[in-house]
Structure 1
Amino acid sequence: MRILANDGLVDEAVNFLRREGFSVDTEKRDYEDLLGDLPDFDALLVRSATKVNRELIEAATTKRGKLKIIGRGGVGTDNIDLQAAKECGVVVKFAPHGNINATAEHVIGLMFAIARKVPFAHHTLKSGIWHKARFKGVELQGKTLGLIGCGRIGQAVANKAKDLDMKVIGFDMQRWMDSEVDYMDSMEEVLDHADFVSINTGGAHTLIREPELERMKSSAFLINASRGVNVEEDALYYALKNGRIAGAALDCYEKEPKREGEPFTSKLAELDNIVLSAHLGASTANAARKTGMEIADVVSKYLKYGDFRQSVNVGQTVIDEGIDLYTIFITHEDKPGMFGKFGTAFGDLGVNIQENNSRRLDGLAQTIYTIQEKPTSEMQEKLLEIDGVRRVVY
Structure 2
Amino acid sequence: MLKILANDGLDSIASDCLSEKGHTIDTTHFDPEPLKEVIGDYDVIIVRSATTLDQTTLDAALQPGSKLKLIIRAGVGLDNIDVDYATAKGLGVRNTPNSSSTSVAELALGHMFNLARHIHLSNITIRKGEWNKKHYNGIQLYGRTLGIIGFGRIGQEIAAKAHALGMNILYYQRSGPKASHEDFKFVDLDTLLKESDFITLHTPSNPDGRAILDAETIQKIKKGAYVINTARGSLIDYDALLDALDSGHLSGAGLDVYTEEPPLNPRLTQHPKISMTPHIGASTEEAQRGIGAEVCDVITQYFMP
Q: Please say whether Structure 1 and Structure 2 have the same fold, judged by a TM-score greater than 0.5.
A: yes
Letter in 1 for 2:186: Y
Asked if the contact 1:155–1:181 (Cα under 8 Å) also holds between the matched residues in 2, the reply is: no
Question: Which is worse superposed, 288-297 or 231-240?
Answer: 288-297
Cα deviations by residue, 1:238-271 (Å, 9 ceiling, x for unpaired):
10001011111111111113xxxxx733412332
Matched with 1:254 is 259
Normalising by structure 2, report the TM-score: 0.95
Alpha-carbon separation, structure 2, partners of 1:177 and 1:282: 28
Residue pairs, 1:142-161, within 5 angstroms: 142-161=143-162
Matched with 2:72 is 71
Matched with 2:228 is 223
Letter in 2 for 1:88: K
Cα deviations by residue, 1:295-335 (Å, 9 ceiling, x for unpaired):
22112210222xxxxxxxxxxxxxxxxxxxxxxxxxxxxxx
Structure of greater relative contact order (alpha carbons < 8 Å, 6+ residues apart): 2
Q: What is the aligned counterpart of 1:199 among 198, 201, 204?
A: 201
Matched with 2:26 is 25
Alpha-carbon separation, structure 1, partners of 2:85 and 2:293: 26
Matched with 1:270 is 270
Matched with 2:103 is 102
Matched with 1:178 is 180
Give the C-alpha shift of residue 176 in structure 1: 2.8
Alpha-carbon separation, structure 2, partners of 1:193 and 1:143: 10
Which 4+ stretches in 1 moved above 4 angstroms? none
1:61 aligns with 2:66: no
- Cα root mean square deviation, aligned: 1.3
Alpha-carbon separation, structure 2, partners of 1:63 and 1:271: 51
Alpha-carbon separation, structure 2, partners of 1:31 and 1:237: 31
Cα deviations by residue, 1:258-288 (Å, 9 ceiling, x for unpaired):
xxxxx73341233221111111111112111
Could you say if the C-alpha distance between residues 226 and 266 of structure 1 is closer, same or farther in structure 2, counting changes exceeding 3 Å? farther
Alpha-carbon separation, structure 2, partners of 1:24 and 1:273: 43
Asked if the contact 1:93–1:299 (Cα under 8 Å) also holds between the matched residues in 2, the reply is: no
Matched with 1:90 is 91
Give the C-alpha shift of residue 22 in structure 1: 1.5
Asked if the contact 1:45–1:70 (Cα under 8 Å) also holds between the matched residues in 2, the reply is: yes
Give the C-alpha shift of residue 27 in structure 1: 1.4
2:10 partner SS:
coil
1:61 partner SS:
coil
2:250 partner SS:
coil
Give the C-alpha shift of residue 11 in structure 1: 1.1
1:16 aligns with 2:40: no
> 5+ unaligned residues in a row in structure 1: which ranges?
258-262, 306-394
1:170 partner SS:
strand
Letter in 2 for 1:225: T
Question: Which is worse superposed, 287-296 or 64-73?
Answer: 287-296
Matched with 2:237 is 232
Letter in 2 for 1:191: L
Residue pairs, 1:296-307, within 5 angstroms: 296-305=296-305
Matched with 2:44 is 43
Question: Which is worse superposed, 17-26 or 119-128?
Answer: 17-26
Matched with 2:283 is 283
Residue pairs, 1:119-138, within 5 angstroms: 119-138=120-139
Alpha-carbon separation, structure 2, partners of 1:244 and 1:289: 41
Alpha-carbon separation, structure 1, partners of 2:236 and 2:118: 22
Matched with 1:348 is none
Give the C-alpha shift of residue 18 in structure 1: 1.6
Question: Which is worse superposed, 269-278 or 84-93?
Answer: 269-278
Asked if the contact 1:146–1:198 (Cα under 8 Å) also holds between the matched residues in 2, the reply is: yes
Alpha-carbon separation, structure 2, partners of 1:266 and 1:152: 33
Matched with 1:2 is 3
Give the C-alpha shift of residue 202 in structure 1: 0.7
Larger Rg: 1
Cα deviations by residue, 1:214-254 (Å, 9 ceiling, x for unpaired):
11121211111100000001101110001011111111111
2:68 partner SS:
coil
Cα deviations by residue, 1:62-89 (Å, 9 ceiling, x for unpaired):
2010110100111100100112202221
1:293 aligns with 2:298: no
Matched with 1:244 is 249
1:145 partner SS:
strand
Query: How many residues in Structure 1 have an aligned counterpart in Structure 2?
Result: 299
Asked if the contact 1:73–1:291 (Cα under 8 Å) also holds between the matched residues in 2, the reply is: yes
2:304 partner SS:
helix
Alpha-carbon separation, structure 1, partners of 2:232 and 2:299: 25
Matched with 1:115 is 116
